[in-house]
Every structure is written in C-alpha cells, then in structure tokens.
C-alpha cells in the first residue's frame, strides 16, 4: 500500500542508508565522542552558522521538549498556534517536560502573527500569572503553509522586545526552503530564531533530529537538558552520520523539491475535479481538501491517509521524497473513478 498519510511513512534514502552502513564499522566511543558526530557537527555549522550548538536527539517530540526546556522555566507560558504539534500531537509532553502553560492561539492558516499573539503578551511581573517565555512556531506549519522571512522576523523582534525566546519546529524546514528558494540559514539564523528543532526524518532520514541552539545564552545548559530528557543516545553516531549525508551535495534540497513537486502535480490534478475543494493554500508537500464522504471511504480501501476534520470531510494528503509520478497518477485515476 502506498501512503499519502505522512512523509513519516516514507522509506530511508539510499545515501542515508549508506552512511549508516559506513558508521557501522568497528567500535566507536559512545555519546558523541566519535568522528561521525564530529563531522556532522561541522556540516551543520557550515550550513547554519559556525557558533551554533547542535545536539542530536531521537525524535521530534524529544527535540521540541529539549528546545522548550532551554527557553523556559516552569512558571512561563509558551505561545503557539492552536494547530501546533506541541499542543495537538505530543500527548502533553512539552507541557509536562517544561512545566509551562501552553497558550494556543486561533489561526486560519496555522501561522502566528504579531497581531495574533499580542493579546497574550501580558501580566509580565505579576506573580499570580504564568509569565510569557517563548513563542513556538512550525516551519512548515501543520496546515502546510510557510512563513516568509519578514513574517518570522516580525515574530522574533516582538518576542525579543519582551524578553522572550522563539523556538522553530523545523520538522519540514527543508520543504519551506525548497519552496522559497532560500537556505536554512536565511530562514533561521538570519531571522533571529533562538533555537531550532532541525528535522530530517520526514525527508529521507531513518530516525533522529537535531536541536540547534543559536542564542548563546541558551547553550550552557543544553547538554544537561538533553541528557535529563532521555534524548542522549549512547551509539550517537547512528543519529549524527545521517545528517552528514543529508547535508552533502544538497540531498536535503533534492528530496524536498521532489516532495513539493509531487504535491503540486497532485494539487493540479485534483483542483479540476468536481466535488474537490481545497481548504488551505498549497505551499509545501501537504494538501488539505474536502471531497464527498463516499469517495473518501472508497479511497481508504486502497490508500492510507488521515482525516483532518472528519465532520467536514476534510482530509490531508502528504507527498514524500520517494513519491512517484506513477503514485500520483494512480491516486488521481481512483478519485476520478469514484467521483
């Protein structure tokens, strides 16, 4: 069964698998004191900024929990979109690990703006209220939309004026960069992001993410927070070596561009069909749409995908680095037949 449910369901890119096989030679010192991790750290610093601090972790939820613990204390609040992964999909892990109040903000497209979060920037210095400590933003958002650099800078500048940090969840950052034709640095460091959850699992890696700390004031405690959060791998080289492959010869960009292109082909084929309505703009590799429920039920017999709002017959299709044009053609053929 081919899946359009999530880019998490895709396989591992062959070049990443080769990197894992190369790291699987002989013995190596654990916990990151190995040449593969050193090389991966160098690569990340070349791509982002020489003075960043990369910390490899097991997964996306762990990376968000570590990053937010660096930005906050338990009396803080974290402001995010109501669709944010930390609020909807992580079983309360960020709230439990940080002790913070999570303050969701209603948005129409998954994107925060200064106007939307300004009402939550209050009660500073009042001991009876959680103190706003961090803004969490997803790039791409959970609705497939993308922040442009000026939109990110507007958020970081506002947060910094109030003594707050900005954490970017970059699980699909590669797709945003590919769509905007911008580098990782241009969408993070240059926009004032303090700490990044740098993902690759959705774009060809087997497992693992990296928390990349940009703000110097957050670096001192980073390694301790990772360890205490159970996110320090003993055989760390199997996490880190993947990032070297990922950042070599723009593999990350090639994969993301392909996934985005497959989504565009699927979007263009679906938008002409009667009964199909898109609920969000197509900006990355995620499509949000409605169609008649009988058609959805019939498709589910052959394809795996998720409802986004079942009451409204809204579903989500996600393409991956290994989605083929043949996959798209077959799905379109099925939708046309059932319609």
CA distance 255 to 228: 33
Residue written as tokens 């993070």?
188
Task: Name the phi and psi angles at 205, rounded to 5.
Answer: -85, 160
Closest CA to 212 of 39, 30, 45: 45
Same domain, 241 and 262: no
Residue where one domain finishes, among candidates 221, 247, 273: 247
Extract the residue ranges of the chain whose pLDDT is less than 50.
Answer: none
* CA–CA separation, 139 and 147 (whole Å): 7
**CA distance linking residue 211 with residue 55, whole number of Å:** 5
d(CA 277, CA 36): 47
235 plus 265 within the same structural domain: no
Per-residue pLDDT, 2: 76
CB-CB contact of 102 with 80 (8 Å): yes
Domains held by the chain: number: 2
Regarding whether 145 and 117 lie in a shared domain, the answer is: yes
Which residues span the domain enclosing 274? Answer: 251-338
**Is 175 in contact with 252 (CB distance < 8 Å)?**
no
Q: Where does a domain end: 188, 217, 247?
A: 247
Residues 261 and 212 in one domain: no
**Per-residue confidence (pLDDT) for residue 202, from 0 to 100:** 96
Same domain membership, residue 301 and residue 184:
no
pLDDT digits (tens, 9 = 90+) for 320-334: 999 999 999 999 999
How buried is 15 (Cβ within 10 angstroms: 0-12 exposed, 13-18 middle, 19+ buried)? middle
Q: With contact defined as beta carbons under 8 Å apart, do 31 and 227 qualify?
A: no
For the chain, the 3-state helix, strand and coil shares in percent, each to the nearest 5, are: 45, 15, 40
pTM over 0.85: yes
Over the stretch 274-290, which tens digit does the pLDDT of each residue have? 999 999 999 999 999 99
Residues 123 and 55 in one domain: yes
């Amino acid at each position: 069964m081919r899946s359009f449910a999530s880019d998490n369901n895709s396989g591992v890119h062959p070049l990443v698998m080769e990197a894992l096989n190369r790291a699987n030679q002989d013995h190596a010192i654990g916990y990151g004191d190995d040449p593969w991790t050193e090389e991966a750290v160098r690569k990340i610093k070349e791509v982002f900024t020489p003075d960043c601090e990369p910390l490899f972790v097991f997964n996306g939820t762990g990376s968000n929990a570590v990053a937010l613990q660096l930005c906050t204390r338990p009396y803080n609040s974290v402001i995010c979109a109501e669709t944010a992964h930390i609020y909807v999909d992580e079983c309360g892990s960020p709230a439990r690990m940080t002790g913070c109040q999570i303050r969701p903000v209603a948005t129409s497209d998954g994107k925060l703006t200064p106007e939307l979060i300004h009402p939550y920037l209050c009660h500073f210095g009042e001991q009876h209220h959680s103190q706003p400590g961090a803004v969490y933003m997803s790039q791409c958002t959970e609705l497939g939309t993308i922040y442009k650099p000026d939109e990110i800078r507007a958020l970081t500048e506002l947060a910094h004026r109030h003594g707050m940090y900005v954490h970017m969840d970059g699980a699909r950052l590669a797709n945003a960069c590919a769509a905007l034709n911008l580098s990782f640095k241009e969408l993070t460091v240059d926009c004032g992001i303090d700490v990044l959850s740098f993902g690759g699992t959705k774009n060809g890696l087997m497992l693992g993410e990296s928390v990349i700390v940009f703000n110097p004031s957050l670096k001192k405690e980073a390694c301790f927070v990772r360890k205490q959060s159970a996110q320090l791998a003993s055989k760390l080289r199997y996490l880190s070596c993947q990032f070297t492959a990922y950042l070599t010869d723009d593999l990350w960009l090639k994969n993301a561009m392909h996934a985005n292109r497959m989504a565009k082909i699927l979007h263009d084929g679906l938008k002409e069909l009667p009964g199909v309505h898109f609920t969000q703009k197509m900006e990355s590799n995620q499509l949000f749409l409605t169609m008649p429920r009988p058609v959805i039920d019939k498709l589910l017999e052959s394809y795996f995908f998720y409802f986004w709002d079942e009451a409204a017959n809204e579903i989500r299709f996600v393409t991956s680095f290994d989605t083929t044009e043949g996959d798209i053609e077959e799905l379109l053929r099925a939708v046309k037949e059932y319609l």
